[in-house]
Amino acid sequence: MDKVRKRPIAMLVLAALAPAVLAGSVYAREASAGAVGGEDQTPGDDFYCGERKLGEWFYCTRSKTTPRPNAGIPRPSAAEKMAVITSQLKELKARAILEPSEENIIAYVRFQREQLDRASTFSDTWQRALWQNPDLDYTLQRPVSTVGKRAWLDNRKADRDAVLESLSQRYGLFYFYAQSCGACEIFGPILRSVADSHGMAVMAVSMDGGPNRDFPEYVVDAGQRARMGVPGNETPALALFDTATRRTIPIGFGMLSADEIMDRIFTLTNTRVGSDY
């Protein structure tokens, strides 16, 4: 009798628990499906997944991830973006010129203004970076301000004069001129003053055989210019000769001022290429 009474009670309990059991089963299946299809699921262990074959209830396999849109498309480079902006600016300008409507002109001016603002931002950032990083600031080596440039030139002139005083012991000047050359008549006295002020020896070479008022101890060209490697036949022409290395260094052709002569001699003999620029 007790067993008969207890059976309906057990059936009632099972009936009451059935929805919860079913819900748990559905939830387990959904969790399994989500875990299997998720992108963060870790690979399964070979023993549990392969040898024991636990099946779909054990989260063993990683599903193939769905690629995101545009995932394989490379992003355009900065140079490509600049090319697009330049092309668009040219197109808007051409359209405004060929079809000068108010709409087209405003579109061109607005786009151009955007690029001018971008350029201004770049310039401002550039200047701030130079101020805060002295190794990038070229004006510390070659000042551009009035006061700084004056001081730099004074120091450079003092160094140049000191060097030129010592150069006379090693270097000499070859001056190629012609009696018929009008520029030579003006250049001769300038070269004479430079040579006298720094004690440099000058060998004047006449290209046409005529004398020279400023350098009376001249010689007539008999192939010296070609052998020394001084190009052309232009006059006046000036070349520095290194007695130690027997090397000829052309200085310049045509009219030169005294400062230009001294600066070129100093630069060619005492500075490294690129150090002044």
Asked whether residue 214 is assigned to any structural domain, the reply reads yes
pTM: 0.51
pLDDT-derived band of residue 253, with 50, 70 and 90 as boundaries? very high
pLDDT-derived band of residue 58, with 50, 70 and 90 as boundaries? low
Q: Are residues 152 and 193 in the same domain?
A: yes
52 vs 50: CA distance, rounded Å? 6
Asked whether residue 2 is assigned to any structural domain, the reply reads no
What is the pLDDT at residue 275?
61
Q: What is the domain extent for residue 263?
A: 146-270
Looking at residue 238, which CATH number applies to its domain? 3.40.30.10
Q: Are residues 203 and 251 in the same domain?
A: yes
Asked whether residue 128 is assigned to any structural domain, the reply reads no
Asked whether residue 164 is assigned to any structural domain, the reply reads yes
What is the pLDDT at residue 274?
59
Q: Are residues 167 and 206 in the same domain?
A: yes
Q: How many domains does the chain have?
A: 2
Smallest CA-to-CA distance from 252 within 241, 270, 239 is with 239
Q: Are residues 200 and 252 in the same domain?
A: yes
